[in-house]
Amino acid sequence: MEHILFLTGRLAQPQLEKVLAGISDAPFTHEVREIGLQVAALMTADMIRRRVEAPVRADRIIVPGRCRGDLEALSAHFGLPVQRGPEELKDLPRFFNRAARPVDLSEVEVAIFAEIVDAPRLSVDAIVARAQELKRDGADVIDLGCLPETAFPHLEDSVGALKAAGFAVSVDSVDAQELLRGGRAGADYLLSLTLDTLWLADEVASTPVLIPKSPHDEASLHAAIDAMSAKGRAFLADPILDPIPFGFAASIVRYHALRARYPEAPIMMGVGNLTELTEADTSGINALLFGIAAELNVAAVLTTQVSAHARRAVREADWARRIMHAAVRQRSLPKGMNDALMTVHDKRPFPDTPEEIAATAAQVRDPNFRVQVSAQGLHVYNRDGMREGTKAFELWPRLGLDNDAAHAFYMGVELAHAELAWRLGKRYVQDQPLDWGCAVEREAENLDAWCAPGTTRPAPEKNSG
């Protein structure tokens, strides 16, 4: 059985030992070693090298999740793997469960068509720039949305520029002549052809997306599919997803019926009627729709990000397709795979009870403030005692920081983060930004690079394993 050495600090040691003792059927034995510092999050690779004597009798070493420094060099020094654990020690059971059964989210089956809805009003350079942003978020095909009664004189140039830059391109229009122009310019796909406009497929090599003459005219879509299949031509079929409350449930039934009638037909689903026209967080909407798409083996999804609340729709779609594909492939619920779509709430927001926080606070002998959040509210403590409340302004007068502007600013920011986390049910970790999943841009922090000599960072007052 594997033997693991866990390194920690004085404040975290009791909780770490308790958590490890509670991991049932653990596939390892362990030792917990406190290396002579109070706050585990202050641990560095250089400190470990100085304070942990080699050789170490273990198969691997696990250090706190916030430990900074070059762990590869540390591994070479000890001759065994040195690994960061989770940032919160109470996540260790989940950490080991994931490590035992890693989930591969690299596979995708659904292609994402990302529409630039105002393409006629943008320059060619602006269209290419927008396409690059969409591709970074996960788009596979850039869809040029034409506008009714709006000239698009640079359509051909736009298709050509995108193709030259390596993009797959679709042209989306209700005007047959615009579709013809797009196809002749080299577009890979045309959105959308009905039974009446199938002649366009004979004029160009573009793959058509087939739709019914009207959303409820399933027979016309079936006829278009049969016609294209008889010619041996590739196509995508889209029964049209209607918005709430104008036939959404019925349209889901149409998708299911289409899959039953044509088990192998490549299907497209346009999700903008839900993400754009429903005032709700799009991460959840995308999760649900891509779950349906995964069950129905949908080949492509068309999405937009026009409304301000849908500005992360493409990135959410990319995560949703990966998670739902993995769930279907493994025949497992889409849980515990990735937190990217958990943008507003956290599954385990409050890892510590008030009693556990109080026990940690009783050990503190310095004036630095620690901030933790439980289900009951905010807990702020140092050697002078505990302050508890649910509002930042409620706690502020009790900190005594009127004459320390820098510390006052720091604690104001932390208390605001803590109150927001408590109200929403998000995980709060002192000195760290709240985790909004894929809803925000966030640069990856390089924990392998420690601060340059002579520089400092705010002391992390959070009890971390």
Instruction: Decide the pairing of beta strands 168-172 and 300-303.
Output: unpaired
Reading the block at residue 315, the tokens are 């990135």
Q: Identify the pLDDT of residue 136.
A: 96
Contact 65, 464 (CB under 8 A): yes
Tell me whether residue 458 is in a domain.
Answer: no
- Taking the C-alpha atoms of residue 191 and residue 201, their distance in angstroms, rounded to an integer, is 11
Cα 283-338-93 angle, rounded to 5 deg: 140
Does one domain contain both 93 and 116? Answer: no
pTM: 0.82
What share of the chain has pLDDT > 90, as a percent?
79
Question: pLDDT by residue (tens digit) across 349-378?
Answer: 999 999 999 999 999 999 999 999 999 999
Residue 214 forms part of a structural domain: yes
Q: Give CA separation, 342 vs 277, 304, 312, 339, 440, in Å.
A: 21, 20, 13, 5, 12
Summarize the confidence of residues 215-242 as an average pLDDT: 96
Kindly give, in sequence order, each residue whose CB lies less than 8 Å from that of residue 24, ignoring residues fewer than 6 positions away: none
Tens digit of pLDDT for each residue in 408-447? 999 999 999 999 999 999 999 999 899 999 998 876 666 6
Instruction: Give bridge partners of residue 380 from the DSSP assignment.
Output: 371, 387
Pair 276, 151 in one domain: yes
Residue 447 lies in a domain: no
Is residue 150 one of the residues assigned to a domain? yes
Sheet holding 207-210, edge to edge: 236-237, 207-210, 189-193, 168-172, 141-145, 111-116, 300-303, 268-270
pLDDT score for 457:
32
Q: What is the CATH number of the domain that holds 10?
A: 3.40.50
Please tell me the least confidently modeled range out of 128-137, 208-217, 442-451. Answer: 442-451
Question: Has residue 106 been placed in a domain?
Answer: no
Say yes or no: 132 and 224 in one domain. Answer: yes
Distances (CA, A) of 419 to 182, 332, 388, 461: 53, 35, 12, 17
Name every residue whose Cβ is closer than 8 Å to that of residue 134 and which is 6 or more positions away in sequence: 114, 116, 142, 314
Structure tokens at 417: 């983060």
pLDDT of residue 180 exceeding 60, the answer is yes
What mean pLDDT do residues 255-273 have? Answer: 97
User: What is the number of domains present in the chain?
Assistant: 3
